[in-house]
Structure 1
């Protein structure tokens, strides 16, 4: 069965809701460790994809799974292109940090000479 791409965080939220139906946004935040805004965005996407439904009232919203299957968090494999780009950015970041340190010391030396 082919699933549309689902992030690891979305999978973790679905797994939490499978064990704890009718949970609030605050309960999901406390259990997963994600920020309130992050959970809010991920729940919106999960509702649009049909995995989660929410009963919204004036004071709080309760979320539960719709019964649609979802991929497990344990099966998550990051995209190799994403990993390569992340590694490339980290390597350039360290070069940029070294360059910044050299430039900063040159400026400080120039100020001391003046």
Structure 2
């Protein structure tokens, strides 16, 4: 029940407006289910104001920008690289950056190297 989940996330944020878990959760639901990209982006950016190294917000904002943002993927790429600087074994960031390099940069060798690392660190992850 997405309506109920959204209501609960919004209620949680009324009680604790700086709760990064609730901000991330609502942002993820709005991004993937509701396709409310502007609000989702604002929520992820709020998380990063509170915690500049929040891995979930960095990765999800990168993905959102990659899917909806300008043709220049510089910010999305930088977000993925921040995640990987902090955690070189972050499979989702490896995969997402690999896709960006493949699709936007036409850097096929770089993409392949990242995909291979993602498989190495998380062989059962379907991402």
Q: Bin the TM-score by the shorter chain.
A: under 0.3
TM-score normalised by L of structure 1: 0.28
Q: Which has the higher contact order (CA 8 A, sep 6+)?
A: 1
Structure holding more helix per residue: 2
Q: Which has the larger radius of gyration?
A: 1
Structure holding more strand per residue: 1
TM-score normalised by L of structure 2: 0.26
